[in-house]
């Protein structure tokens, strides 16, 4: 039986999510404690379908509705996530049933654009994207680099810019939305959608030229390390051992949740990329004082800002974007794929 998830399904959904780890050089178990639904609510209006067998939840699939910029116009976009099947019942048949149910719902809502992201190398979901399920064929939107910057012990000094921490306000909202219009799928902010950990703004001659907002997502999701490749085990051991005598911040170990300070919003005026770098460096210092392991930002491979961060010591994860149109709007898909896509990885 397939039905809409209810609050009482929270515990079995947490168990299902944790039982589907991400394998790779760094293998992660994704926890959504204490509330499976809180991350979805942070994304926007959402729905989750669950698949039951013998009164046991063995599958799930979610969709979240967002307003984004497409060709600088406000457009509805549905972000798909949480397609999971219990390992004891692993079968494409169950996944296809959930996908078919979700398709019926999305069509009833007049949905068109569907988008999702998948860890690079995760091929288990490819049958869904290749049109073998109820949904149309998805197009690869390219790869996103999700950078994990190391914390910095010292704050930014001798900057050309005045760096201030302040409240999120209407002026910032306007600047972010103007900046996001240059992207395809750039998000549209109506307010500070998730309460920010900090808002950092760079000024020059009292004029704001760049800003970032930071968020701690541990209340929504926890990425717990369950495995490391041998060379990474050695790296973690070496850094953490040296950290006992040198000013190094410890790296997360197996069994530990990665504490990440996400850059969930950013903008900089053209020619002021140096201001953005100073803000990220200040965020790295805040990560150090706040006992975070990393500062993170996700950028598409075609984003010009990507080259700005080559100077930082960092880890990099790759994620692949997929997009389709329920209304077979091929021209619109081509326009989106020709541009520079955007995705906020704090809520992925």
- Tens of pLDDT, residue by residue over 277-287, are 999 999 999 99
How far apart CA 174 and CA 179 sit, in angstroms, is 9
- Strands 56-70, 45-53: parallel, antiparallel or unpaired by DSSP? antiparallel
**Strand pairing partners for 63?**
47, 80
Cα radius of gyration (the chain): 21
**Residue 130 CB partners (closer than 8 Å, separation 6+):** 137, 138
pLDDT (0 to 100) of residue 150: 93
Judged by DSSP in three states, 212 sits in strand
For the residues 38-43, what does the mean pLDDT come to? 95
**Ramachandran region, residue 55 (left: φ > 0; alpha: ψ -120 to 50; beta: rest):** left
Angle (CA) 280-81-322 rounded to 5° is: 75
State pTM to two decimals. 0.94
Residue 193 has pLDDT above 70, yes or no: no
* Domains along the sequence of the chain with CATH: 2-142+320-347 (3.40.630.30), 148-221+250-317 (3.40.630.30)
**Ramachandran region, residue 43 (left: φ > 0; alpha: ψ -120 to 50; beta: rest):** alpha
Place 192 in a pLDDT band, splitting at 50, 70 and 90.
low
Residue 79 has pLDDT above 90, yes or no: yes
**Residue 11 CB partners (closer than 8 Å, separation 6+):** none
List pLDDT tens digits, range 88-97: 887 788 989 9
Residue 243 has pLDDT above 90, yes or no: no
How far apart CA 242 and CA 240 sit, in angstroms, is 5
């Amino acid at each position: 039986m397939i039905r809409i998830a209810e609050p009482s399904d929270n515990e079995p959904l947490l168990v299902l999510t944790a039982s589907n780890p991400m394998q790779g050089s760094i293998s992660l178990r994704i926890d959504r404690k204490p509330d499976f639904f809180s991350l979805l609510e942070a994304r926007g209006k959402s729905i989750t379908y669950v698949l039951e067998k013998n009164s046991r939840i063995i599958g799930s699939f979610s969709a979240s509705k967002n307003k984004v910029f497409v060709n600088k116009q406000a457009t509805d976009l549905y972000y798909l996530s949480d397609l999971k099947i219990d390992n004891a019942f692993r079968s494409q048949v169950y996944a296809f049933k959930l996908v078919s149910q979700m398709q019926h719902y999305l069509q009833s809502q007049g949905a068109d654009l569907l988008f999702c992201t998948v860890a690079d190398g995760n091929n288990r979901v490819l049958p869904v994207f290749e049109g073998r399920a109820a949904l149309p064929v998805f197009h690869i939107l390219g790869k996103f680099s999700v950078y994990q910057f190391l914390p910095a012990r010292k704050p930014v000094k001798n900057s050309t810019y005045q760096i201030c921490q302040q409240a999120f306000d209407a002026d910032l909202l306007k600047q972010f939305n103007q900046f996001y219009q240059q992207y395809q799928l750039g998000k549209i902010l109506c307010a500070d959608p998730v309460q920010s950990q900090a808002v950092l703004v760079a000024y020059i001659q009292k004029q704001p030229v760049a800003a970032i907002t930071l968020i701690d997502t541990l209340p929504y999701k926890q990425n717990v390390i369950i495995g490391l490749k041998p060379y990474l085990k050695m790296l973690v051991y070496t850094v953490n051992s040296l950290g006992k005598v040198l000013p190094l911040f410890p790296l997360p170990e197996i069994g530990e949740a990665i504490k990440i300070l996400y850059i969930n919003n950013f903008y900089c005026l053209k020619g002021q990329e140096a201001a953005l770098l100073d803000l990220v460096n200040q965020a790295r210092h805040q990560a150090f004082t706040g006992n975070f392991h990393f500062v993170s930002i996700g950028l598409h491979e075609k984003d010009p800002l990507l080259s700005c961060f080559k100077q930082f010591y960092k880890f990099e994860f790759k994620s692949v974007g997929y997009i389709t149109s329920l209304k077979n709007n091929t021209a619109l898909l081509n326009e989106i794929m020709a541009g520079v896509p955007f995705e906020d990885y704090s809520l992925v």
